[in-house]
Amino acid sequence: MINRKLVKFLSFRYVILALLFIILAGGLVLLPKFEKQEGIKPEQLLSNIISPERYITTDELADRIINQDPSLLLIDLRDEETFKKYSLPNAINMPLKNLFDEDSSAFLNQDAYDVVFFSNDNFDADQAWILCNRLDYKNLYVLKGGINRWFKTIINPPHPKENMPLEAFKLYATRKAASMYFGVAYPDQVKTNVPKRPRPTPKKVITVKKKKKAPEGGC
């Protein structure tokens, strides 16, 4: 027994399939557009943010600058004005709001250099780090404490108290030496060429021996 209705339906099978095709393809055009998730996955980003591995201490940074590490790329995220006042040696000024300008991606998206972000504190640098990490840029670091901590530890290291352990004194000595590299002068290290005052030559006292007067004959 042939189901006549089914036969009639199946005679249109190619038309139906063609229509299905067009509807599916048209559905693609009508799909609501949405911003695609760029960069790494949110879970990955979260675990990266929690990890403290991105921080580089001021001592470490000073050590690398002094040893003239060629793989170091310092990026100053503060505005231009403060950058001009003071910044780390060889730093590049890239204010946070200009972070994704066209010419800055060449500095950030590479894997030849270790990029170290810093600002006055580490908050701006952390933000920049998160933004760049999300885009899966490599070798990014944040200077812990930023310029403020740089001043407190390297430029103006606190003198250890007398009851502190030996390590504190050693650290102080290292920091002091580092600060001298960055141009801080210490009064106790200052070697001034004080012109030697010519030693006053003792006056030769020529004592003229008085000739004993011969007794003069008195009158």
Partner 1 sequence: MGPLLPNDIIPFEWSSIIAIVIGIFFGFILESSGFSSSRKLAGVFYGYDFAVLKVFFTAALVSLIGLLYMDYLGYVDMSSLYVHPTYLWAAIIGGAIMGIGFVAGGFCPGTSLCAVAIGKIDAIVYVIGIMVGVFIFSELYSVFEPIYTGYFYGNITLVDSLGINPYWFVFLFTIAAVIIFVLVDMIRKRVKKVFY
Q: Which residues bind partner 1 (CB under 8 A)?
A: 14, 18, 21-22, 24-26, 28-29, 31
Q: Which residues have C-beta within 8 Å of that of residue 182, sequence separation ≥ 6? A: 62, 89, 154, 155
- Complex with partner 1: residue 33 or 85, whichever CB lies closer: 33
Closest CB 57 distance from partner 1, rounded Å: 35
Buried/exposed 118-150: b ≥16 CB within 10 Å, e otherwise? bbbebebbbbbbebbbbeebeebbbbbbbbebb
Closest CB 11 distance from partner 1, rounded Å: 14
- Complex with partner 1: residue 26 or 158, whichever CB lies closer: 26
- Complex with partner 1: residue 6 or 15, whichever CB lies closer: 15
- Complex with partner 1: residue 29 or 190, whichever CB lies closer: 29
Give the closest residue to 140 by CA, choosing from 113, 122, 104: 113
Closest CB 29 distance from partner 1, rounded Å: 5
